[in-house]
Structure formats: C-alpha cells, structure tokens
Structure 1
C-alpha cells in the first residue's frame, strides 16, 4: 500500500529537522569564520559510527583518531611556541591544555567500551569523543589561514573533507551500521503513524535551536561570536579573539554534527562516507538562507526534507538529483537580487 501524503510529509519533516541542525552549523561557521565547511557531514558519520562500535563492545576508531589529531595539535603548539620565543613552561602548559580533554575522554572510552553501558550513556560518551574534533580541525587546518579569502578556505575545506573520509575508512572500516532506536514506541492517529525516534528527533532539534537562540541572545560569549560574525576587525579591536571565536564555533559545529549522527543513525545505515550526502543537504538548506539567516536555514532545511521525501515517493531514482538541483534557482535568484563585487 502506498504511503499517504501525510505520512510522506511527516518523514520529510523528520529528515528536515536533522538537516536543520546541519544547516544551522553551516551558517554559524560561515558567519564566524567565513569557512564553507564541506566536511560537516563527517561529524555526522563519526557520531553514528562511534555509537555503533560502542554498541558492539569495541573501542571505536574515534578514540585513536582523536589522539592522532590531539598529538598533531600538540606538536603544532611546540613548534609555534619556539618560533615565537615563548618560555618552555608556557609551551608545556599549552601542550597540557591541548591534550587534557582528548586523552581523558579517550581513556574513559577505552575503559567503558567493553562494559556494555546503556544506550544513553554511550550516546553521551560519543558526544564527548566527537565534539573535540571541531576545535582540533580548526587549529590544524584553518587557524593559520583565518584571514585568507573565502575561496582559499573553501579549497582547504575540500582537502579536509577528502582527508577525513580517507581517515574515516582507515579508523572505522567499510562496514555500515544502523543504530538502535532511542525509543521504540509507535503512536497511531488515523492513518498517520509517529515513531518514538521521530519524536526524539523533533524534540532534540527544537531544544538545540532554542538553546542556540538563548546562547546568542543572552550570553556574553554568544554576543562575542555574533560580533565576530558581523565585523571581525571591529571584534578584535574590542578585545574579542577571532581565533577563540573560530575554535568555539567549530566545537559547536562538531557537537551539532555528532548529535545529528545520533539522531539519524537509527533511521538509515551509515557508512564512513555517508556524511557527505547528508551534510550536503544541510548545505543546500543553508544556501536557501544565503549562509546568513538562522530562521531561513530552518525553513530551507524543512523544505529540503519535504522535497526529498516526496521525490523518493514519486521518482526515487532521481531524488538526489531533484534535491541538489533545487539549489540552482536559489543561487540564480540570489545572484540577481544581491550581486556582489570582488572580495577584498
């Protein structure tokens, strides 16, 4: 029996809620750092695969990946410290700050992996493992290029994407995983069936959007990020560190990506390279918003989810083509409505 339009729309809104989180992360990163972060979807894959391996009782490859990145960042701290003539004690303190969280979280994960803790505990451990990736990737790939052009930063993002996909294959393997649902209940109303996992997706997405709103509107740190997004030079003159803002923005993006992976993991099989397509749909939603507006990014993500859902019903072989082609008229409209000169 064919699914009803209401059921198809519900599936689209469920997917759109996840794409909304990725779109918000994309807009956040571009606003604060001017980075079009193509590898946002890799955080999604890392989150889903880390939880899947914890479910099997194995130490996830995320642990070793995190330690490798932390070690590379520590080496960078040492090299940069000696170049600047900093005293050894200060360099040592910076190295300790760089390694403390990744090493501590990795040790906890190695201890906890074979213990078979409940799903919620493993999910929290997954968030703790994947979130530091954002800070480390920004420091290693983007921080020294913070003042480069958007095109240069985009090229770096492409390189980071391919590096993360290749390393993801090495650390996670080619096998795909589908995680268990956080809530197996099902609720039927007329011809519409709502799963417990869908409720969790809507609830988590809504809660995170509200928290982001409160963070940017009510906290000093959030206002500092907004100031950096509006005027980087002016923010620096006011004593706001652009590097600190970039690190925080990437950390938030990694958390959002990992959470998205936990939410979408029970609905589809995730492979090491699945994040690219998922993240790209979030990017399409962000483009609908001009990479500038959080509310429009939310609306664009829901539109992408609905378009994907109805496309898979009417023309499943072409659903990806339809979704990604929808970006073309948006780009054309924005180009005609708001033409830009050369970047300075």
Structure 2
C-alpha cells in the first residue's frame, strides 16, 4: 500500500464515519432521554433515502400514506387517554400535529411526485414524512411503555424494526434505488478528489452537530432534554413534561436518520433492508461512547468508518465481521470496569 491509497481509504472512512456519527448521536440521544435502544433507526435511514429517491424519479412513496395512517392512530390514542377530562386545546393540538400536518404533507407529496419537484423540495418532504412517522411511532409504541423496564422497551423496539422493515419492502420493493446528488461541485486537494456529495456529507454533518450543540446549550427545550436525560424523575418534579422530551428525542432521531439516508443514497444503492446494517454501525459507535458521551460517540464513529474502509481493502469478505468484532473488547472492558451487580435471591 502506498501513501495515495492510504489517503483514499482514510477519505472514504471519514465520509462513512460522518454518517455513522450522526446515527450514533441520535441513538445516544434517544436512549438518554427515553431508555429506548432505537433499533428502528435503520428504518428511518431507509425511509428517508428511498422516499427521496422515489420523489426524484417521479414516484409516489408509500411512506407519505403511512405517516397519515400512523398519525390517525396516534390521535386516537390521545383521544382515548383524554376521554375522561377532554381538554379541547390538547385534543386540537394533537389533531393538528398528528392528522392535519401529515395530510398536508401527503397532498404536497402528490404534487411533488407528479411535477418532478426540485431536489430541495424532495429533501424537505422526505424529512417531514419520516419525522411524522417517528413522532407517531413514539406515541403508539413507546409512550405507553415509558415506565417499563429497558428489556420491555428493547422488545418493543425489535418489533417496530420488523414491522417497519416489512412495510419498507411493501412500499419500495426488493430492488435497490439511488438518488440524485445534492451538490455537483468538486474539489481537488493533492492526490485526493472530493466529490460534491462527499463535501455535502462533511458540511451537513458538521453543521448538524453544531446545531445540536447550540440546541442543547441555549434553548429551553434542549435544556429540558438534558435534564430528562440526567434525572427523569427529577425533571418531572420540576415541571418538565417527560412525554414531550420523548417526542422531541424521537423527532430529532427520525430527522437525523432520514438526513443520513439522503446523504448516502446518491453514493450507493440502497435496498429496503440496508438501513438496518448502517444503523448497527452507528450503534457500535454509540456503545463505544457508553450510550452517554456525544463527543466520544462521534470520535468512535469516525474510527469505525476508517476501520471499515481499511478492512474492505485488505479483507473485503470479512469487512462486516471485523467491524462488529469491535464490540467484543469494548463490552469486555466495560464489564470488567463496571461494579458488580448483586442479584436478589428469592427462595
């Protein structure tokens, strides 16, 4: 291997690692706030990518209809919970958020699919559709289980993953799709050539991380999320609505997942089940970060991307094995450093 090949591999690894960093940050955010290990994060990637690709090719994505159906179900859940003391303002807000807004997005999506709308419109619609699905998913599947154990939430997460993956096959079929690039410009730095899509990946990832940092540090809702992540009971005692915190966490996670898919789909062909594997690599970064540290998760994601790139060069058949084997020493080290848990014995 010469220096030029090594630089190409590092460049490719950083590009992939930037996407994994976004997914890892989303997983850490959701787990810290809701204790949910968000396995359907991969489906958010797939839905965002294939919705964008479908709209770009003039096809109507089934995810827009799914957002409306799930929104109606979420509204029915809210109506049932509030049946004894109907607060009309709360019911109206739920109606607007869960039914009216997804219906408006569906109408605009019909127009965009028929009119071959510009890439910016397709990106915005894809993000809006997946965001609506993420909000409704939390309301239907996870909010009723908010006070259960992590294991129960994990089982629900696996069930949501399987259901959404099956719906992805129904909506998009078994054939893969690719979308148009977001940026056609390119730049050359020594032996390296940076494509427009690669530059878009770097720029959007950095901008999104900075935006998240400002959101958590400066906004009221961001501080509420941080408080919920640190102490859920304490946050409730001081008047923070932990349900709203969960909704915001899932909203951000779904947007990050959809955005990651949109960044990936011009680079490689995506299938209805590809997002699961991509999400797992973000999960590796989140595990290395202990599902707590955002900076460590981002650094770990870049490391995962670079190791994956070099593995594909030296041993392409074992690329995935090498990447996922990173979990073994990390989990072993954490188990040795963690304090021993004393189990209660029952006679």
Which TM-score band applies after superposition, normalised by the shorter structure?
A: over 0.9
Gaps of 5+ in 1: none
After the TM superposition, which of the residue ranges 41-50 and 65-74 deviates more from structure 2?
Answer: 65-74
**How many angstroms does 1:282 deviate by?**
0.2
CA gap 1:16/1:340 in 2 versus in 1, 3 angstroms: farther
Aligned to 2:286: 286
Distance of 1:155 and 1:288 partners within structure 2: 22
Alignment of 1:192-231 (within 5 A): 192-231=192-231
Q: Between Structure 1 and Structure 2, how many residues are aligned? A: 343
User: 1:45, 1:273 within 8 Å by CA — same for their partners in 2?
Assistant: yes
- Equivalent position of 2:28 in the other structure: 27
Are 1:314 and 2:314 matched, yes or no?
Answer: yes
Distance 1:310-1:93 versus aligned 2 partners, 3 A rule:
closer
Residue in structure 2 matched with residue 268 of structure 1 by the alignment: 268
* TM-score w.r.t. length of structure 2: 0.94
Question: CA deviation digits over 1:138-191, x for unaligned, max 9?
Answer: 000000111111111111111110011011111222221011211233333332
Confirm or deny that 1:71 pairs with 2:65: no
Cα RMSD between the aligned structures? 1.9
Could you say what secondary structure the match of 1:235 adopts? helix
- Distance in 1 between residues matched to 2:114 and 2:120, nearest whole Å: 15
What TM-score comes out, normalization by structure 1 length? 0.95
2:60 counterpart residue number: 59
**Which string of whole-angstrom CA distances, capped at 9 and with x for unpartnered residues, describes residues 67-91 of structure 1?**
1111211222232232x34377864
8 Å CA contact 1:77–1:95 kept in 2: the answer is no
- String of CA shifts for 1:286-341, please: whole Å, max 9, x gaps: 00100000000000100000011000000000000100111110011111112363
**Aligned partners of 2:342, 2:252: CA distance in 1, in Å?**
30
C-alpha displacement at 1:193, in angstroms?
Answer: 1.7
Counterpart CA distance in 2 for 1:145 and 1:156 is 9
- Measure, in 2, the Cα distance between the counterparts of 1:89 and 1:95: 10
